[in-house]
Structure 1
């Protein structure tokens, strides 16, 4: 009788989802935000990532144009950047495990993997500071070489976005729920970590392998 009354009180096309529903998968997200509609947090993250992509694109365009200067001297990247890349990749794997575990209702496994992903992000920032120290040790400072200046600028910008992601991660890690909203938040963390890994790989490609000769050839000046 109670179930029949609940069905009668629920409008057609609306799903009732408990906060403790296992997994809180796609159906749970539709229940919270409307069937077929994206959650506002998901849309907001896509917009933010678009803005960040445009920002880094402008910095990379300035980097390419600055290569024409006669004072440009290519720098060798310290080995620590490859270590930080491996650490960030491992953090992304952990975040992906957390996302998948949360969607299938395995919240204990999801939270363990989430914490590992956050720890990997912290380790990434620490290794990047170590890379800066290594660059200073060989007298590559922002003031004496445009290439060095861009190295510090681009890696610092990426590090700041990683720190911003860790602020959001702290809120997600403190969420003890197991419903659709919690699952969505874990998924957003994973998506942002994957995005930062993609940005980092592009930055490394530009800093490590892009040369004035390659730029001249691509632009038709070679």
Structure 2
């Protein structure tokens, strides 16, 4: 239960910190000088896409928190047999960290070639992570840890599968933005998408760290 509370606290704290970075808590109407147009200010400070992402991350946080709560409840029953997590998960974790670092670099670099290289690296590391998770599944299946043979197995496949699906969804947006930056079509919109992807990748990295620590400790 403590892990759930810490996870929710961290997620909420990161959300508030990110909102503060976006200056959403500023009060433009208190500035002296010309009269502020609140609608224009709000539209420039927090675009609709960003608002949608924040709401989506809040929903995803709630979903994972509920599954983690169910995990702790289910593991108290007598038929729970912990599995030996594949060592490949450590390599996969490093790949996801590299993907998160790469997409962060793509939003900070001024050189367009560095931006393109960082975006490509993000895709390579992310796809490698997803493939690595699938390979970890195959290792467990070969060792006899089937989906329905034990509740612990089911939760492992659930956690890793659900996390992987969210990454696949992010890759679709990443692909859209990367193609437009390489072809120099709608570059401004693509840059916004890359910034949103950066937040999404960092979020999924935090989620995976929590899930990985949970699986290792139980």
TM-score by length of 2: 0.76
- How much is the aligned-residue C-alpha RMSD, in angstroms? 1.7
Alignment of 1:57-206 (within 5 A): 57-101=65-109, 105-175=110-180, 176-177=184-185, 180-206=188-214
| Greater fraction helix | 2
Q: Which has the higher contact order (CA 8 A, sep 6+)?
A: 1
How far apart are residue 181 of structure 1 and its match?
A: 2.9
| 1: CA distance, partners of 2:209 / 2:124 | 20
| 1: CA distance, partners of 2:123 / 2:208 | 17
Deviation >6 Å, runs of 4+: none
How far apart are residue 106 of structure 1 and its match?
A: 2.4
| 2: CA distance, partners of 1:48 / 1:56 | 12
| 2: CA distance, partners of 1:180 / 1:38 | 15
Compare CA radii of gyration and give the structure with the larger one: 1
2:81 is paired with a residue of what secondary structure? coil
Unaligned runs of 5+ in 1: 1-25, 27-32, 211-222
How far apart are residue 147 of structure 1 and its match?
A: 0.6
Is the Cα–Cα contact under 8 Å of residues 86 and 140 in structure 2 kept in the other structure? Answer: yes
| 2: CA distance, partners of 1:110 / 1:50 | 29
How far apart are residue 108 of structure 1 and its match?
A: 2.3
TM-score by length of 1: 0.75
